[in-house]
A and B are shown apart, each in its own frame.
Chain A
Amino acid sequence: MFFLLVGFLLVLLIRWQHAYSGQPIPVFGGWLGEANAPGGVISPEFYNQLGAMHGTIMVFLGVVPLAFGAFGNYLVPLQIGAPDMAFPRLNAASYWLYLAGGLVMLASFFVPGGAANNGWTSYAPLSDIAPGHGQTMWLGGMLLLIFSSLLGAMNFIATVVQLRAPGMTWFRLPFFVWAQFITAFLLLLAFPALQAAAMLQAMDRLAGTSFFLPSGLVVTGRPLEVAGDGNALLWQHLFWFLGHPEVYVLILPAMGIVAEIVANNTRKPLWGYRLMVYSIFVLGFLSFIVWAHHMFLTGMGTAISAFFQATTMIISIPSVIVLSSLILSLYGGSIRFNTPMLFALAFMPMFGIGGLTGLPLGLAATDIPLHDTNYVVGHFHYLVAPGTIFALFAGIYYWFPKVTGRMMNETLGRIHFAGSLISMNVIFLPMFIQGLAGVNRRLWDGGALYSHAQDTLSLNVPMLYAAGALGFFQLFFIVNLFVSMRSGRVANTNPWEATTLEWAATSTPPRAHGNFDQPVRVFRDPYDYSVPGATAGFLPQNAEYARSAE
């Protein structure tokens, strides 16, 4: 979460630069140092660092570790009835590698030349020749982070396969576990491509090779003295071979969290649980064969472009199935509007907007004017910010009583929710308008020189204030988090009256060693709420008979 905050602070700087390009930042400008911001004005080089590191930190140091590493490691063993993850020491190694990678990334800001400034995508040949150590440290940090994720992924798969408690059959698994299981496969098989690419780029930068450097490259007037004959697009292929499954890594745990909270707060089973499971299998597999939709403008042949366009269109189907199932799960439910549920409910239309805006990007022809514009930025932020991050907030509010034995404050939660929802929309909705007007992404001046897009540039100002507001509303969450840990309302073992094993069979807060007081046996499906004929409104998975467990 710390890294999410860091990434957020970086982007606040970016938004300032867009809104008031060329003007010094009041108060804080001097803190950035003369190299980065002479006279308090963000320099173009520093702006590029902000952009690249905001993306890198949010994705690889923020969302993935929180959604997959933190939520997954904590909940998956509990939800399947296991005493721990399958390989505890590997788990520890995975954490320390993550920390090392994170420190390398943060340290890169303080070397001469600053942090990496070639976009989170580090396209060649620019990233190959970028001066300074920042980009090289980015590569080193990524190698550490990727290794961390690979170890984690192995652990998750082995745990889910091998350590399910007796009676926990595959189709009794909570949907959250299925989502993490598929996510683990995506990480396991896609990350190595970026691992290889990072090694090749490191060789280019450090050993003078030209894997990604074509012949005849001229840099600042002088021809580059390398062997040449490299292929810059090779980097893009390897990067996006990971990059596309990576975005499904970002969204699948979120879908899992939302599913758990929806089932619990509608007091009925998920609609289409099996369908959702099959859908994420299909989604996972397809995510590996859509990657070149990020490369429609690189000059690929029309037939191969059509192939990737087709697979991209097809992959929207399982996503829609999952979203529709979540929405249909609300029908006929007895909905409780607590804070986790508010975030989970908001996830649905926000994810819908994010997904729908992806359609013109997935079609090669309409991608031509939209590629690399702010439209793309709006598209993916809708999916990750009011999408995944909302799901993560929902998860924190929901499982807080499990971890700490106390409830978070509802009023502060609602304020946090409302403020975040509104400000996020004010930030990201105008991006579609700007993108459609042709404003490119990653511009230091926010598009000031585009004569055809002048009307849309004034939107940068409310976007800045909305970003500030978004930051302000997170204070409610941060305060809530820390104060409730000490003095929140004490919760019993199962304050949400949930059916899944993490609530049913453990003490709160959890014991130091081993998850469960006694060996667990599972008898029921994951969401046995309001079972007709039962004496209780919900039946925990380890309840043997259709009456309430003690």
Chain B
Amino acid sequence: MLRTTSSPRLGPFEHRLLEEVWARGNVTVRELLADGTISQAYTTVMTTMDRLYKKGLLDRAAEGRAFRYKARVTQAELQRNAAMDGIARLLESSSASSRPLSYLVEAVSAHDAELLNELQILIERKRRELKDKVESRRVQGGEQA
């Protein structure tokens, strides 16, 4: 578990590298570059990994002349900390404590409504598919008769 409550800000490439480390468990810079999924230069990757280490997100152990890195936090922990930071900032943004909370509820409701609309579309599509299937079976049956 990450001890600090504040979550460090991450750039897109830092995030990408962190995801690679989560996926592989532990890794050296050379191993990250070996399969070609990361096209940046060795020094760029090395500097970014070093920055992630200094931000407290990676641990490292010397392995020959290089370092082997592994994550200090899980993906869920990082997401949780980011969410907690966001919510804390939101709550501090207004002197009236109920106002930011109402924005949060509004945003969640809008998100929920969007999800429900998407699910509704999927259901209607499935209904049409089933109806078409029945129709085509009926036509085939009629032709055979």
A binds B: no
